[in-house]
Amino acid sequence: MKPSRQTTILIIEDSAAIRETLVDLITLNGFRALTAVDGMEGLAIAQREAPSLIITDISMPVMTGFALLEALHQAEGLRMIPVIVISAKTDRADTRRGMELGAADYITKPFSESEVLRAITIQLEKKELLDELDAFAHTVAHDLKTPLFTLSGRLYLATEGLGKMDEPALRRNLQEASLAAGRLSIIIDELLFLALVRQESIKTKMTALEMGAIVTEALASLASQLTASAAIIHQPEQWPTAVGYAPWLIQVWVNYIGNALKYCGPAPQITLGSTVSADGSMIRFWVKDDGPGLDAASQQGMFVPFTRVAKVSATSHGLGLSIVRRIMEKLGGGVGVESQLGAGALFWFELPVAVVVD
């Protein structure tokens, strides 16, 4: 798996030589490494840093690996962190005890690089899936509840008001019910699309993109919002050619332009464009609006992984931009935002340049 910049692995090992070997192995493969020389120090670091994964020895001073596993299991915020035990102990009883205490995997010394990396990859992928299931449950339980409550409530009022309520009041209840149903549909569609992006293998489907046609299709799907907002869209006559997957890129443009329409007030001016990187390897595509802009704290919370989207609410930027982030991760690109309060915002995504073959 491709490690993200947030993927931190804590190594707890009293042998300096083995600890340094593991640090080199982990950092060379793109992970961030933290180290501790015993279980007590490791537990303190885990509580402070909340690593994505822990690798620990068993026989250590102060606090053994077994005692560490017990402490991690009892800590509310740490019990879901996968722990890989690396130990010279080969006794089956020790292995069984480690697993009973919550170890996710058990590797004996001496170990090979491929063995450790394979274990890390498996455990991080399992953790990501479990985290996403938890986030999905939160989204279903919380973010769907409000529009569902509004829908059922308004339909109840409309039903009870038949023959008693004047037409404007009845129409108002039905309109609110329709809007709530629309919000439910959007959240469900985004959850389904997010699941599709996670599962689909994309390498063989990536091609040179006709970005102008992709943008045109995205604008067509936003036609009603564009008309209602009286938005003015500026875009170049020609686009540079990047490599990607067109159906997903339509969703990215729809998300970016849709957010600009949603948050920029009446008659927004929205500019679409692109910039080729200095080394000519990447193309940055962007959507710039004339809205109120974002402060630094808001910008940092924009492109959260879906595992954290519940913290920002799926009904705001969170769910849509987490989909954009996931798409770009699968396509080998990047995402970001540039903004200042009072000066609008520029949301961008990057894709590799298409190689021209003579």
* CA–CA distance, 347 with 281 (Å, rounded to integer): 20
Judge whether 259 lies within some domain: yes
Mean pLDDT of the chain: 82
Q: Are residues 55 and 185 part of one domain?
A: no
Q: What are phi and psi of 86, to 5 degrees?
A: -120, 115
CATH of the domain at 223: 3.30.565.10
Question: Domain total for the chain?
Answer: 3
Kindly state whether residue 229 falls inside one of the protein's structural domains.
Answer: yes
Domain end call among 152, 177, 199: 199
d(CA 175, CA 151): 10
Domain boundary among 84, 106, 131: 131
Residue 1 belongs to a domain: no
The answer to whether residue 2 sits within a structural domain is: no
Confidence at residue 24, expressed as pLDDT on a 0 to 100 scale = 92
Kindly state whether residues 195 and 210 are assigned to the same domain: no
Beta-strand pair 232-234/269-276? parallel
Q: Are residues 226 and 346 in the same domain?
A: yes
Residue with more model confidence, 299 or 353: 353
- The residues, any chain, with a CB within 8 Å of residue 223's CB and separated by 6 or more, are none
Report CA dihedral (223, 226, 232, 235) to the nearest 10 degrees: -40
pLDDT digits (tens, 9 = 90+) for 209-222: 999 999 999 999 88
pLDDT for 113 = 86
State pLDDT tens for residues 89-116: 666 777 777 777 878 888 888 888 888 9
**Up-side HSE of residue 199: CA atoms within 13 Å toward CB?**
6
Please give the C-alpha separations between residue 233 and each of 13, 133, 274, 341, in angstroms, as whole numbers: 58, 38, 15, 22
The reply to whether 137 falls in a domain is no
Domain co-membership, 219 together with 175: no
Q: Quick one: pLDDT at residue 317?
A: 41
Q: What are phi and psi of 296, to 5 degrees?
A: -60, -40
Output the domain CATH number for residue 62.
3.40.50.2300
157 shares its domain with 279 = no
Final residue of a domain: which of 99, 131, 163? 131
Q: What is the pLDDT of residues 307-345, one digit of tens each?
A: 444 444 434 445 678 778 888 888 888 888 888 888 888
**Is 357 inside any structural domain?**
no
Tell me: do 325 and 233 sit in the same domain. Answer: yes
Same domain, 120 and 161: no
Q: Say if residue 102 is in the same domain as residue 156.
A: no
Residue 69: domain span: 8-131
Is residue 298 domain-shared with residue 223, that is, in the same domain?
Answer: yes
* pLDDT for position 40: 92
161-202 tens-digit pLDDT: 887 878 888 888 888 888 888 777 767 777 777 667 766 667
Alpha-helical (H) ranges within 205-317 are: 211-221, 223-229, 246-263, 296-300
44, 75: one domain: yes
| Distance (Å, whole) CA 152 – CA 155 | 5
Provide mean pLDDT across the span 144-168. Answer: 82
Confidence of residue 9 (pLDDT cuts 50, 70, 90): very high
